[in-house]
Amino acid sequence: MNKRSLQHNNLKNQGASWNDDPFDLPWQPQGVSKLSHEDNLNNYLYELVDMYAVFDGECYNVAFSKLSDCEQNELARLYLEYADRDTSECIYGNEFSINNDFVCSLLAMLKEDNIQSRVRFAETTRLNIIKHHQPDMQKLLDRKCDEYLLNNMEEAGFYARQIQDDCGIVWTKR
């Protein structure tokens, strides 16, 4: 038996996973790879475009505001992971006054700590994060729509040619 299979058997017999190895042994399971936060975000964007994109004759479009709350939440979560969990300004939404809704709901929760004040604070924070990052997430959706169009046209046997005069694109059959 080689060293790698012994290490694998030892870990398997101990009930530990390869992530739980306290000695950081150099073996790697076959066929398993970790996705980066950027990959996770791109995969989810592609899923959203694939499910909700509407073709208007020239391009595909997905409006962030038309997505369900669940999908907006997931996209915001993945975007925050992609942005290294930077929540420094987004919790305030786009309002940075001293009496913004985030600070008011936080103060209300600290004054009266009950389920209603906690729910209000959590909902305010969620809405502010989405409001702050919505333009960036919409740009990502727009770019993914462009990629989606390009992939679909190439699969159909077309290629894009750019027109110099008006910076437009013409699709030509191969």
Please answer whether residues 40 and 78 qualify as being in contact, where contact means their C-beta atoms are separated by less than 8 angstroms.
yes
> Whole-angstrom Cα distance, residue 101 to residue 79?
23
pTM value is 0.71
**Is pLDDT of 167 > 70?**
no
Question: What integer pLDDT is reported at residue 24 of this predicted model?
Answer: 62
Question: What integer pLDDT is reported at residue 2 of this predicted model?
Answer: 47
* Phi, psi (degrees; rounded to nearest 5) at 17: -90, 170
Q: Tens of pLDDT along 139-158?
A: 999 999 999 988 888 887 87
Question: What integer pLDDT is reported at residue 7 of this predicted model?
Answer: 52
- Side-chain-side CA neighbours of 79 within 13 Å: the count stands at 22
Confidence tier at 3 by pLDDT (50, 70, 90):
very low
Q: Tens of pLDDT along 85-141?
A: 888 888 887 777 888 888 889 999 999 999 999 999 999 999 999 999 999 999 999
- Reading the block at residue 7, the tokens are 């290490």
**Is pLDDT of 6 > 50?**
no
Q: Tens of pLDDT along 44-82?
A: 999 999 999 998 878 899 999 999 999 999 999 999 999
Which residue do the tokens 């046209």 mark? 153
Burial of 63 (0-12, 13-18, 19+ CB in 10 A): exposed
> Whole-angstrom Cα distance, residue 168 to residue 160?
10
Please answer whether residues 45 and 86 qualify as being in contact, where contact means their C-beta atoms are separated by less than 8 angstroms.
no
Confidence tier at 25 by pLDDT (50, 70, 90):
low
